[in-house]
Amino acid sequence: MNSAQSASQKGDESRGRNPVVRENIEAFAIAIIMALILKFFCVEAFKIPTGSMQPTLIGADRNTLIDRNGREIFDRILVNKFIYDLRPPARWDIIVFQYPLEQSKNYIKRLIGLPGETIEIRDGDVYVDGEIARKPEKVQEALWRRVDAPHPRQPNEPPLFAQTQSWKSRTDDEIRTTSDGGLRLEAKDGTTTMLFDRRILNDYLHGYDSSYGIETRVLEDAYAVGDLRLVLTAQIEDRTGGLTLTLIDREDTFRVFLAGSDSETPSFIDLESSRVDEGAVPLSVETTGTGYEAKPESGRVVLKGLRLPTGQPRRISLAHVDDALELHFEDSLVCRVLLELPPPSEPRRVQRQRASDPSQYGREREVALYGQSGIEIGVTNNRAVLHDGELYRDVYYTRVSSRLHESMGHFEVPEEHYFTLGDNTQNSKDGRQWETYTYRLSGGRQIRGDFVDSGPDENPRAIGLQTQFKDVFGETHVFVHTDIVEGPIHEVAPFIPARFVLGQAFFVFWPLFSPFRMRFLN
């Protein structure tokens, strides 16, 4: 073989290998391009930056939770970035957006107010244009917080009906428990009623797993929560009389009587509210599988055909939330009563007490308690055994105070803007607290930035005779007092421009183990 033939053969071999290499390079380049397209236009992963959405989403800030093995817990989520090209954002969505007052940061909150709406926070609930905003079923399920379960401060909390120190007889009857942690009520002639004698407050730690290492960083005034859900297994032992479940929410009382099979009195729901003067309670009723007769003038709904069987345990759920009462048997909806009531008055302070504040190195300070709420369970002309009790409360949105407002709870959302809140309402920097400083400086400069009055993110910050101030674009400015022509101009800035919304958070993909938190979000 001469040299020309040899060179030709090597060239053919080289050309034979080159397509394979080229195809691999092309495939790798296409994969990178597709990943970038997905990231910028479809789905992107985010790490939760703060604790403002806890316990729904756990953030990786300086108050990061730790598990029982001392490892940090933080959630990573997937965000759908094209969903709002198909539909507008909806109330209660969990959205990711550029923080308007520091646009280099992305925040995650729950969407509350839509363009053109008037939002008001009253007694823990959200009102839109004067009417209460009711949450969809899946959202509400995600926001229930277990009250009676073990949590980081009380990891050895016993079951609800085994907490004998928390139950008090209203009729001076002896509180009897069963060997397996149940509660026994007896009233052969008359009525026996037990009161859960413990304040149901917006405790910061409700909803956290007992194995998480966390403490209340900021101790605030406490509010009684009246949006409650009581779940229990009940078994009556006689055919007469029945079982009564009562939820108390400051200005409202909701009493459900579940009749035995031979009871002369049918099952009913009684609704009492001091929010109506004439006594009649405006309501609408939805039932499944049972007839009813609504009597708004007396606040009673008679449930025809609904009876508790003798000697057979029944799983019962009674919930009052967002001015609606729901009764479930064995996870099936029996009745839903929607109340059409005016907004409640603001809760009044009922008590002050001393409490230890972890943020003040254990020193005690005075804390105010607002409002009253509770649950009662009674039996009439019957005997009942109660097991597997669970008590939940709804998220309680609080107003906040600032230098500009004594109580920030009223918001008028402009067009093309949104209003958000964090699920961790006691420790969330959200639309209730966003404020700006604006300086007009010599030379015609004007700078506007996020106002943070203290802490590691304090802005502006005094450094000797100079002022250091970070603007909304993340650029830091340093100036002296003589540079200031006007300012600082202090304003509230509670809203998010629509163009800053990046997408909807829909899935938690991390952590996978210890603890397992993978799930879809609501």
485: which residues sit within 8 A by CB, 6+ positions away?
440, 441, 442
Active-site residue identified among 6, 14, 52, 104? 52
H/E segment holding residue 36: helix 3-37
In degrees rounded to 5, what are phi and psi of residue 521? Answer: -100, 145
Q: Retrieve residue 431's tokens.
A: 């639309």
Give CA torsion, residues 44, 50, 55, 56, to 10 deg.
-20
Per residue, the 3-state secondary structure of 327-341, as one string, reads EEECCEEEEEEEECC
Q: Retrieve residue 239's tokens.
A: 């055919």
Active-site residue identified among 81, 109, 429, 470? 109
**CA contacts within 13 A on the Cβ side of 100:** 20
Q: CA-CA distance, 86 to 134, in Å (whole number)? A: 24
User: Which has the closest alpha carbon to 345: 400, 281, 409, 269?
Assistant: 409
343: which residues sit within 8 A by CB, 6+ positions away?
120, 122, 123, 127, 130, 132
Q: CA-CA distance, 93 to 522, in Å (whole number)? A: 7
- Confirm whether 109 is a catalytic residue: yes
Q: Which residue has the tokens 């200031």?
A: 484
Q: CA-CA distance, 241 to 233, in Å (whole number)? A: 18
The residues annotated as belonging to the active site are 52, 109
